Amino acid sequence: MKKQKINLRLVILLVFLALAIVAWIVYFLFPQKYFWEAIGSFNHYPKYFSRLDGKVVAGTEAVSPAVVAVMIDNFPDVYPQSCLGGEGSVVYEAPAEGVTTRFMQVMSAESDFSKVGPVRSARPYYLDWLAEYGAGALYMHCGGAPEALVLIKTRKIFDANEFYWGPYYWRDQNKIAPHNLFTGREKWQSLLDKYADKDNKPVWSGWNFSNSLDVGLGEPLREIAIKYFSGYTVAWRYKNDAESYER
């Protein structure tokens, strides 16, 4: 009887030893990403990803969030802008007039940005990008090109032009007009609470993200440069420590 107990303990020990050896082989001889993917496959809790930035969110309601798009100034005298390129946002940059560009920052209505701006006027081509985020996207700006204002009306865009929605903006008296108009979460949340269509949830397809870390074809691009005008070129350089591009 005593001998059987000893043999049983020996068998259990050998099984654990074999499992440890297999785990060691998998961990050190195969790419570690496959090892952690295998470990993660045992996690039965569902994970949801935002269609705005690809990050993990709490549940299905945050997958396609209600979004706010704000037109932001890029005049040299306003640098640095407030919350430009904040976490979880998508920023579009295109020529406005003269030798300046303008930004449209798209972000979740739940983004914790207390001050965004300076807010500037609408341009028609930004409205095409805005359409990708569904009919319920809130568009915030101050005035605009005539063509843009007509398109806003004909496309029935959820629009908050400061000319008519002044209470949802404020002027920073420490800055020079017209580069001193701002908005923020408290303002747009107040507007959404009063005027957003609560019966229709946001519907938009979003960006395509991949869980795969496979290396793509060709040489990795360390820098991307876009020349907008003579003397104004924007460059994006890859930072190894952050694993992202820095403007």
| Residue 168 pLDDT greater than 50, yes or no | yes
Give pTM, 2 decimals. Answer: 0.77
* Percentage of the residues of the chain whose pLDDT score is greater than 90: 39
The contacts of residue 121 (CB under 8 Å, 6+ apart) are: 71, 141, 142, 143, 144, 145, 148
Q: Token pair of 133, please?
A: 């985020």
Mean pLDDT of the residues in the chain: 82
Q: Average pLDDT, stretch 151-174?
A: 96
The contacts of residue 183 (CB under 8 Å, 6+ apart) are: 70, 115, 116, 117, 119, 140, 168, 169, 170
Longest dimension (CA), the chain: 95
Contact (Cβ atoms closer than 8 angstroms) between residue 106 and residue 112: no
* 104: confidence class by pLDDT, cuts 50, 70, 90: very high
* 33: confidence class by pLDDT, cuts 50, 70, 90: very low
3-state secondary structure of 133: helix
Which carries the bigger pLDDT value, residue 75 or residue 184?
A: 184
| Residue 2 pLDDT greater than 50, yes or no | no
β-bridge mates for residue 159, sequence order: 139
Written as one letter, the residue type at 159 is D
DSSP designation for 75: -
Q: Average pLDDT, stretch 65-81?
A: 90
